Amino acid sequence: PAYAAALAQLSQLGLTYPCSCSRGDIRAALSAPQEGAAMIGPDGPLYPGTCRHRPMSDQAAGDAIRLNMGAALAHLGQADLAFTETGPARFGDHMITPHDLLTGVGDIVLARRDIGTSYHLSVVIDDAAEGISHVVRGEDLFTATPVHVLLQQLLALPRPVYHHHRLIRDAHGKRLAKRDDARALRTLRAAGVQPADIREKVGL
C-alpha cells in the first residue's frame, strides 16, 4: 500500500507515464544510428523516452511506470538537491544538478510490470517508514543515490546520511554477490574470519 500510495502521489503531480518497452525494444531504439552512443545510468543505458508521450490513463496490463525526469525537475524548480556522504572515497556534501539527473539517470522505472514497485522507490519508502538516519551500503550503489535523493524530495521524505563502503571481493578480485552463491557472512564467521577483518576489507 505504501508503494502504491507513493506512485499515486507522483502520478497526481503529472510526473509518471506507463511504459510497454521491453529491454529488447530499448536496445533496438538506442542502436539506431541517429542516437549515437548510449548514456549509462544506475540502471544501465538511459531510456530513450519512447513512451514518454503516453498519459497514465493509457496504462495497460503489463506496463511498467516510469518517472518523467524532465517534468520532475520542472516541478521541483530551484529546490536544492544534495546529500552527505561519509564514506572515505567520496566524503563530503554532494550537490545534484538537473544536468546530472537528465544525462546520468533519465526516466527511471518506478514500478516494474511484475512487482508494482522498484528498488529505487521501495528503498526510499522503507527507509522513511523505519526511521533510518544513516544508510550504509556498497560503493556500487553510489550512482543510485541521486535517484533516491530526488524521490525523497518529491515525496517530502527525510534524507539520511549515506556511507558507501568498498565491496568485498574474492582472491581474484570478483565482487562477492548472493546471486553468484558467494560465501555468506555466516560462512566467513564459521571459517574463523573476525568482524574486524570484514570491516577492514570494506573500509569501515
CA distance 9 to 19: 18
CB 151 within 8 A of CB 120: yes
Question: What does the pLDDT look like over 172-189, one tens digit per residue?
Answer: 666 666 555 555 666 767
CA distance 75 to 160: 22
> pTM value?
0.83
Question: What does the pLDDT look like over 64-102, one tens digit per residue?
Answer: 999 999 999 999 998 889 999 998 889 999 999 999 999
Between the alpha carbon of residue 107 and those of residues 78, 128, 168, the distances in Å are 20, 23, 31
pLDDT score of 163: 95
Domain boundaries, the chain: 2-165
- Predicted confidence (pLDDT) at residue 60 exceeds the cutoff of 80: yes
Which segments of the chain does DSSP mark as H helices, in order? 2-12, 23-30, 69-76, 98-104, 119-129, 145-154, 185-190, 195-202
Q: Which CATH number fits domain 2-165: 3.30.750.24, 3.30.450.70, 3.40.50.620, 1.10.10.10?
A: 3.40.50.620
Q: What is the DSSP letter of 20?
A: -
Q: pLDDT tier at 122 (50, 70, 90 boundaries)?
A: very high
Question: What does the pLDDT look like over 2-54, one tens digit per residue?
Answer: 999 999 999 999 999 999 998 888 888 888 655 556 678 888 889 999 999 99
CA distance 26 to 22: 6
pLDDT score of 71: 97
**How far, rounded to the nearest angstrom, does the alpha carbon of residue 84 sit from its chain's CA centroid?**
17
Q: pLDDT > 90: what percent of the chain?
A: 63
Q: Average pLDDT for residues 95-118, to the nearest whole number?
A: 94
pLDDT score of 73: 97
pLDDT score of 193: 73
CA distance 88 to 78: 30
Q: Which residue has the cell 546530472?
A: 100
CA distance 17 to 107: 10
- Predicted confidence (pLDDT) at residue 56 exceeds the cutoff of 80: yes
pLDDT score of 192: 76
Cell of 194: 573476525
CA distance 87 to 179: 25
Return the H-helix or E-strand segment holding 16. strand 16-19
pLDDT score of 183: 56
CB proximity list for 63: less than 8 A, separation 6 or greater: 18, 19, 20, 113
